Amino acid sequence: MHEDKPTTKYAPPFSLRLSFEERAKLEQAAKGKPIAAYIKWIIFKDELNRPDFTRQIFV
């Protein structure tokens, strides 16, 4: 019998389409940091209240 097991540890990547203006605003708000990390921090900052995460991304 075949058991269904996940082949990876992570979900597939998520894609988000932005206008040129939206991307420019994000880049400005991120102040040179990776946009994906900035978006993740904005969404999960209350849950990711770990000093090591914040220090690693925004130092």
Tens digit of pLDDT for each residue in 17-55? Answer: 999 999 999 999 999 999 999 998 899 888 766 665 555
Q: What is the pLDDT of residue 53?
A: 55
Q: Which H or E element spans position 51?
A: helix 51-58
| pLDDT given at position 26 | 96
For residue 18, what are its two tokens?
């932005």
Q: How far apart are CA 59 and CA 53, in angstroms?
A: 10
The predicted model gives 3-10 an average pLDDT of 72
pLDDT attached to residue 18 = 96
Domain edges within the chain: 20-58
